[in-house]
Structure formats: structure tokens, C-alpha cells
Chain A
Amino acid sequence: MFRILLIMSVAAAILFGFYLVHLDNKVTERFEGRIWQLPSHVYARPLELYVGKPITHEQMQFELDYLNYEAVSEMPHQPAHYRRWDDNYEITTRGFTFWDGVEKSLSARVTITDGRVSRMLQPYTGESIDLLRFDAGYLTGIFPAHSEDRVLVRIDDVPDIFIKMLLLVEDRRFFEHYGVDPRSIARALVANISSGRTVQGGSTLTQQLVKNLFLTRERTLSRKLNEALMAFLLELHYDKRLILETYLNEIYLGQDGRRAIHGFGLASRFYFDKKLSELGIDEMAILVGMVKGASFYNPRRQPERSAERRDVVLELMSEQQLITPRQRDILSSRPLKTVKHASAGKYPAFIDTVKHQLQQDYDSDDLRSEGLRVFTTLDPYIQHVSEQAVKTILPRLSSDQTLQAAAVVVSPDTGELLSVVGDREPTFRGFNRALNAERPVGSLMKPLVYLAALEYSDSYTMASLLDDTELVYRDEHQKDWRPQNYDRQFHGYMTMYEALLKSRNIPAVRTALDVGLDKVRKVAVAMGASSDISSYPSMALGATSMSPLEVASIYQSFATNGFNSPLRSVRAVLDRDNRPLERYAVDISSDVDPRNVSIINSALVDVTRYGTAKRLSENLSIQVAGKTGTSDDLRDSWFAGFSADAVAVVWTGFDDNRPTTLTGSSGAMKVWQAIMKDVAHRPYQVAESGSLERAWVNADDGLL
């Protein structure tokens, strides 16, 4: 009997030994490999102010609010504080690490007059400031599958008082025990038995960490035993500081939509928009109090409970003489103040373009797990204006709530994407029409047809007479094609200029056939078109499908007289330690004669003054250039145009391709106008060239 027992004991011990080895492997693998999958953090473009910069008070306020700068009544000494009086803003910016260096926190007095920065001074010395760069606003993260988000903190960067506070509340004997603290367990047991319910926990920080990293939340004996064993093994392998640091970065502290807030580093940003080292003691106490229950003590949703819990923490600190009773009283009397933080993931259409660009250099695993810092081109104010334009104008165009829209705004000279809207509900994370909806572009194609004529034929000028009479196109492989003008009428001969202004169909088709469809296609590609353009004559009327982004690429080339800049939404990428990984430089190419583009552009200006878009000249205060586009049966309404500082493309239509009642000018152009009214500051001027001259011609015969 004794022998059997002995054999069984030895067998059990051996099995237990194997089990311990298994647990040990689990623990060390996680710690010695990558502990967390760190999401990429994506940032908007930083606002830069300089004397002369066009900016309204409305935009300035938007930018300050967007960056969660706090308005104060006195001189702002702390970063991210400002005060305003009349036209003046006294601001202390946040320091920030950019891809091109560190920008220190700076104090400035900025005066905005007549929609421009008129003066920038150092408030203390009165010296002028030439350039002021704000921190870049956080947009969103690209999360791992489990949607955890965190901002890593190093234990050396965590304030000493915070560590003491945390250990006081959660694990006073942290530096003395070996992962499990029998005294705490016993104390908790007594407290719970005497009160008849669970009032106290006996778990150490190490046990809590193990539970979060490896185990489930189920309250079973086996899970508790595993937790204890693994805590012990963790302590065996790793020093206390590493375990504590890991805990600081792992603890769950709330939810933001589908994003889980892990770690005190991110929590301090999320609730207070400050670094952990910048928090006040009362704010630290709020976060430490949340460890017991992040949802239960959420300072935004449960402010009273959160305040009570904070006061418990402060009381404990006072008892242990970490703070004086007087300090405790002052801190307890402070109102709970958290920042109004917009949900991450606000700009799904734009973020799509970011992922699209990054996926050329990074696989999606790296994007979700390597903790990259991605600096984008998004202009939050322009994005806001674009979204508002779509949301307010679309219901006025049609009561049908399935009418959809997409809008893209691009910087003409750098090709940077400033805003992208992919749905009539811009925050909706669904089909991104700006990137993925390829729709017939209609008359947006005509400027390319006439540009091809200027490029490839000496016999065409803007004064050339084009035939607007009935045309029958015959092809042995298909039935006859009889294109129609919009008004179903024919107007005889007219100049190329007039044909473009009035968007006549027949002259465009005749010109494309005469010049050669392959030439038109070549010019379209040179100007930024990427898709396969059909080789049928109907291509001249835009029976070729493109996405709004692709159209933006083409009209960006028009805006710069033929210098195409590949559109991009990312400027630079840093790794988790702020080391540069990738830089996406400005790039341009040109394969057309800028003078010919300039000629077409002069006509596109007149489209907005005398042509199909003439209402723009009445409603906008600056000169712009652009083109309306309407596809067959009014299924697609487009407008593409530009000022000197912005190119915008808008599309409206139904996803199921049924006819709308909208032309380019009665539909998309209205959204375009609403965007450009706020966004475009510099008028488009046709580039002067010594080799070009203006001349009056007779509209009837095209002669001087």
C-alpha cells in the first residue's frame, strides 16, 4: 500500500513538474518575445502658423479644440493651454516628436486679422516668431485583431508618487512577496467572511498581470491555482521593475468604441489628454482608482463614483503620509475634469487611403502590431468642412436618403490628400466611394480630349471650329452609335473654346476620333489616370469609369499645368522608438506641354464664369477653374475643380446606378462650392508664359 502511494506520489510529482515546465514556457515566451501587439498610431498634419497664413477665427478655434487645448483666463504657462481676447490668442503649444525632429513647447501670441495671421510674438520678450508648429493631432490607431490600444511607458519615466500610490492601493508588499502574498490572501479572507461578501481582493499586482496576460476572468479554483503558479514563475524569472512596468502597460482602463484602453500611458491621454508624468495627484488617483473596475469607476460615465474612489485613494495616501491632510482636502475638493475625447476611428475613408499606401511597404501584421507612428497629410479642418458640406447639402439635393456622395480635397502642388469623404455619413465604416466607387466620369473627360488635340495636332487651337452636327459612328463590330448633346440639339460650328464651355458632346467625340483615341488615352494617363480607359469613342464623353481619387489625380495635374504628383496620404513613418522608417517625398512628373494645359485651364476658368458652372463665380469670392460632369441618364453627378491652394472632386449618385435628377452643376457642384468656400483662399490664376498670348477671335469663324 505504502509502495503504491509512493509510486502515485512520484508520478503526480513528475506530472506536476511537466505542467510547471509548460506554464514556465508560456510565461517566458510571452515576456521574452513580443509582449504586446502595439497598434500603429496615426496622426493628422500639424498646424503651422506664420505671418500671412490664411486662417479665420473659426478655424483657429477649431484647431485648438481639435487638439484639446484648454482655454484659461490667465497667461497660459502650461502646454496645451491658451487664452483668447479679441483677435489675439496666447498659446503654449505641446512639445511633440515629429518625423523630422522634436518640436519643443513654445509660448506665442498670435493675432488674426481679416482672415490672416497678422502678427506672431513671444509674449514675454515681444520678439517676433517666424513659424509656429503645433503638435499633430491623434487620429486613430490601426489595431491588432483584439483592438487593444496602448502607449508604452517606461518605468523610469513614471513619477515616483504614482508608483507609491499604485502599490499602496493595490499591492503594498509588492517588493517583498514572490508573486503571491499569503498575508494579503488571509487578510482578504477575513474581511470577506466577516462582511459576508467580497469586499477585498488578495491578488498581488503580479497575479493581476498574469490574469490579464494569460488567463480568463472566470473565478474558478483551477484558474486561481494557475494564476498563483504563473505569478510565482514570473517572479522567478524577471525582476520586480520589469513586472511592474509590464503591469503599468497592461492594465485595462476603459473602452472607446471598439478600442480597448490598456495601460496608464494611454489612459492618461485618453481621459486627461496629458502624459502620465504631467498628471496632477488627483488625476493620478482617479486612474489608480479605476484598477478596481474600469467601467464601474469610469470618470466620464460615473463621475460621482469615480470621485468617491479618488477620495478613498487620497485618504489612503494621507494615512501613509504620502500627502498631508491639507493636500488631501484640497485635492478631494477639486472637480472631476476629463477631456471630451472624440472616438478614435473618426475618418474611415481617409484611413483607408493610409492603409492602402502603407500596405505597399508594410504587411498588415506590422501595421497592427509594431507600434508604428504614422504621420499623415489629413487636414482636420478641411476634413470637417468637407464632411459638413456633404451632410448638409445632400439632403437638399434629394429627399431620397440613399443618394450617396464622395469628396476628395488635394493639395495641388504636393499631391497630399487633405480630406477624404467616402459616404454621405462620413463616419460610417463601410464602402469607401472615394477610393473604390468607379463610376462613369461624363464630361470630366472633355478637357483631356481637347488637351490631346493641342498636344498631338498642329491644326487645333482653342479657336478651331468644331462640328456640332449630327454624327453617326459606324463600326462593323457593333451597331451604329449616334451620340446626342445634352439638349438633344445640334448647333452647327463652334470654337473649341465654346464647345468646352458649354460641354457639347458631338464636338468632343469628333475631336477624339480625329486626334485618335489612343492619343486621348495617352494624355489621360500622363495626367494621372490609372485605370484602363475604354477604347471606344464613347470614351470622349466619359463612358469610362474612375474613382473620385483618380479624378482628383487628373485635376491635380491640371491645377499645376501638367505636373502630376502621385496622391499620397502619408508623409512619414517612425518606429515605436521614434526612429525614422519611411519618408514619402514629394514627387512630380510631366509628360505634356505645360503651355497646352495652361490653355485648357484658361477655358476651365471660363467654365466657372460663363459656362456650365457659372454660378460659382457668383457664389465664390475667388477665381477658380473646373468642370461639370454628368453621365448618361443623370446617373452620376460630378464636379472637379481647383483654386491655387486646393483641388476638390465631388461625386453624387446612387449605389445601384439608377438615375438621379442631378446634373454636375445641380448636384455635385453645390457640395463642391460649399467645401471650397471655406477651404480655398488663393485664387487660381492662369500661368503666364512668354510663348502664349491672348487674342480676340470671331466666334463664328474662329478667325482673328
Chain B
Amino acid sequence: MITPVIVSSMKIMWMIQTGSSICSASYDSGRCSGGRGRSTAASVLLVTILALFLSACGTTGKQSAKMDVIDVEEGNYRYDAWRPVQSGEYAAINVLLDEADVLMQRQAYDAAADKIERVLRIRPDYAAAWSRLSWLALQTGSPKRSVFMARRSNSLAQADPELQSLNWSFIRAASGVLNDEDSYFRANQKIESLKAF
């Protein structure tokens, strides 16, 4: 029962943020119909749901943190941590990842994964590619796989705290879906500790 409430709340929070009506998965440039006029009603609804939730379960730091969501900056479809490497050898990789990002925007997740797998055949140690696969796994309902992909990305991104932080946010979201509280809070702690970098 808690999970559907959390998911609904996540969607509504996202609506408020982007001023949009119900859009599909959070990988969206914000081009949804509805406009900002609905945000007030959505806010009221959110507060109501929150109130019900908190009164039923009691408020703890753990439970409120579970209402987290993978935020996407309005108008962008990439995370900064996924910024491309500008170097001759990466030209092919950048072409494929550009195509993958466009496909992700269109929610063509399998097609996007195909492009990213081609990247991995060129550079298996490309951490940002694994990070994208982690995100895709979340979108396609495979939270366990998302965790492993994010961890794989982290194992290859030792010198990139920004990417690690993004990956931990995926792990956190996946842990939420899996109702794995320990992992969820470990992820939170990691994100906090990486902020120092």
C-alpha cells in the first residue's frame, strides 16, 4: 500500500516541478501538455497524501526520504555527469550516446540500450555507459539490475565523484522500489559524503 502512495507522490512532485500534467517516465524534456495552472491543485493533493501517510505511519527520517525521485532538470535530457568526453577516440562513442540519449527521450528504451551496448563493445570501461544502463533498468522495471549497473559504473568511476553521486541516486531509487531500507540509507549516506567533493 505504501509503494503506490509513494509512486503517486513522486509523480505529483514531478508535476509540480515541471508544471506539467501527467507525463511518462521522468526522462522527458518537459514537453508535456497541461501547463503550470494545475500545479496548485497538485500541491494540495500532495499535501493531503503526505498528511495521510504521515498520520498512518508516523514520521521518521527514513520514510520521508523514500519519497525521493530522480529529478531531471527541466529542458535537459542529460545528466551533467553523463557529459561526453571530447577526444578523438571517443568520437564514435559520443555519436552512439547522442543517439541513445535521443532514444531515451522518446522512451525507446530497448533501442537506446542497443546503442549503449555498442559503446560498451568499444570501451567496456566507460562508466557513463553503465550509468545510463542503470537508469534504463530503472525505467524498465528492473531495479536489481539497476543497482548492479550503477555499482559497475562506480567501480569504473573512482575519480569521478559527480558520476558516482548520480549512480548512488539510482541505487537509492532502486532500493526504494525494492523496499530495501538499509541499502536506501546507505545510498543516502554515500550521496551526502560525495557532496564534499
A in complex with B: yes
Q: How far is the CA of A561 from the CA of B153 in the complex (A)?
A: 12
Q: Note all chain B residues with C-beta closer than 8 A to A412.
A: 124
Q: How far is the CA of A288 from the CA of B144 in the complex (A)?
A: 58
Cβ 8 A contact of A586, one of B89, B110, B120: B120
Known: A51-B91, A583-B110, A587-B145. A561 touches B155 (CB 8 A): yes
Cβ 8 A contact of B92, one of A51, A588, A645: A51
B133 to chain A, nearest CB (A): 7
| B24 at the binding interface (Cβ < 8 Å) | no
Q: Note all chain A residues with C-beta closer than 8 A to B118.
A: 48
* Contact bitstring B92-135, A, C-beta under 8 A = 1, else 0: 10111000000000000011011101101110110000000100
Cβ 8 A contact of A130, one of B95, B114, B145, B152: B95
Q: Note all chain A residues with C-beta closer than 8 A to B148.
A: 563, 588-590
* Contact bitstring A48-91, B, C-beta under 8 A = 1, else 0: 10111100000000000000000000000000000000000000
| B55 at the binding interface (Cβ < 8 Å) | no
| B61 at the binding interface (Cβ < 8 Å) | no
CB pair A52 B89 closer than 8 Å:
yes
| B58 at the binding interface (Cβ < 8 Å) | no
B61 to chain A, nearest CB (A): 27
| B151 at the binding interface (Cβ < 8 Å) | yes
CB pair A583 B114 closer than 8 Å:
yes
B180 to chain A, nearest CB (A): 15
CB pair A588 B152 closer than 8 Å:
yes
Q: B141-166: which residues lie under 8 A (CB-CB) from chain A?
A: 144-145, 148-149, 151-152, 155, 158
CB pair B121 A563 closer than 8 Å:
no
CB pair B124 A99 closer than 8 Å:
no
CB pair B117 A563 closer than 8 Å:
no
A569 to chain B, nearest CB (A): 15
| B4 at the binding interface (Cβ < 8 Å) | no
B21 to chain A, nearest CB (A): 31
Q: How far is the CA of A53 from the CA of B91 in the complex (A)?
A: 12
CB pair A48 B152 closer than 8 Å:
no
Q: How far is the CA of A128 from the CA of B92 in the complex (A)?
A: 11
| B88 at the binding interface (Cβ < 8 Å) | yes
Known: A50-B91, A131-B95, A414-B117. A689 touches B158 (CB 8 A): yes
CB pair B96 A100 closer than 8 Å:
no
CB-CB nearest in chain B for A591: B148
Q: Note all chain A residues with C-beta closer than 8 A to B115.
A: 100
| A636 at the binding interface (Cβ < 8 Å) | no
Q: How far is the CA of A412 from the CA of B155 in the complex (A)?
A: 15
Known: A411-B121, A414-B120. A688 touches B155 (CB 8 A): no
CB pair A586 B133 closer than 8 Å:
yes
Q: How far is the CA of A209 from the CA of B14 in the complex (A)?
A: 65
Q: How far is the CA of A563 from the CA of B120 in the complex (A)?
A: 15
Q: How far is the CA of A99 from the CA of B115 in the complex (A)?
A: 11
- Which size bracket describes the interface of A in this complex? 20 to 34
* Contact bitstring A24-41, B, C-beta under 8 A = 1, else 0: 000000000000000000
Tell me which of B91, B111, B115 has the highest count of chain A C-beta atoms within 10 A of its own C-beta: B91
- Which size bracket describes the interface of B in this complex? 20 to 34
Known: A48-B118, A130-B92. A588 touches B149 (CB 8 A): yes
CB pair B155 A690 closer than 8 Å:
no
A522 to chain B, nearest CB (A): 18
A116 to chain B, nearest CB (A): 10
Cβ 8 A contact of A48, one of B91, B122, B125, B133: B122
Q: Is the interface of A mostly helix, strand, loop or mixed?
A: loop
Cβ 8 A contact of B113, one of A131, A563, A585: A585
* Contact bitstring A574-599, B, C-beta under 8 A = 1, else 0: 00000010010111111000100000
CB pair B124 A411 closer than 8 Å:
yes
A688 to chain B, nearest CB (A): 6
Cβ 8 A contact of A131, one of B92, B110, B114, B144: B92
A262 to chain B, nearest CB (A): 33
Q: Note all chain A residues with C-beta closer than 8 A to B124.
A: 411-414, 644-645
Q: Note all chain B residues with C-beta closer than 8 A to A414.
A: 117, 120-121, 124
Q: How far is the CA of A53 from the CA of B117 in the complex (A)?
A: 16
Tell me which of B111, B118, B152 has the highest count of chain A C-beta atoms within 10 A of its own C-beta: B152
CB pair B155 A687 closer than 8 Å:
yes
Q: Note all chain A residues with C-beta closer than 8 A to B151.
A: 563, 590
CB pair B121 A48 closer than 8 Å:
yes
A692 to chain B, nearest CB (A): 11
Q: Note all chain A residues with C-beta closer than 8 A to B110.
A: 580, 583, 585
B136 to chain A, nearest CB (A): 9
CB pair B145 A563 closer than 8 Å:
no
B165 to chain A, nearest CB (A): 15
B52 to chain A, nearest CB (A): 37
CB-CB nearest in chain B for A116: B89
B81 to chain A, nearest CB (A): 19
Q: How far is the CA of A645 from the CA of B120 in the complex (A)?
A: 11
A653 to chain B, nearest CB (A): 32
CB-CB nearest in chain A for B113: A585
CB-CB nearest in chain B for A688: B158
CB pair A594 B158 closer than 8 Å:
no
Q: How far is the CA of A594 from the CA of B148 in the complex (A)?
A: 12
Q: How far is the CA of A93 from the CA of B155 in the complex (A)?
A: 38
B77 to chain A, nearest CB (A): 20
Q: A657-704: which residues lie under 8 A (CB-CB) from chain B?
A: 687-690
Q: Note all chain B residues with C-beta closer than 8 A to A590.
A: 148, 151-152
CB-CB nearest in chain B for A101: B111
CB pair A413 B155 closer than 8 Å:
no
Which are the 8 A-B pairs with shortest beta-carbon distances? A413-B124, A50-B92, A52-B89, A100-B114, A131-B92, A130-B91, A130-B95, A130-B92
- Interface residues, chain B, CB within 8 Å of chain A? 88-89, 91-92, 94-96, 110-111, 113-115, 117-118, 120-122, 124-125, 133, 144-145, 148-149, 151-152, 155, 158
Q: List 28 A–B pairs whose Cβ atoms lie within 8 Å, in order of A's numbering.
A: A48-B121, A48-B122, A50-B89, A53-B122, A99-B114, A100-B111, A100-B115, A130-B91, A130-B95, A131-B92, A131-B95, A131-B96, A413-B124, A414-B121, A414-B124, A561-B155, A563-B148, A583-B110, A585-B117, A587-B145, A589-B144, A589-B148, A590-B148, A590-B151, A644-B125, A687-B155, A687-B158, A688-B158
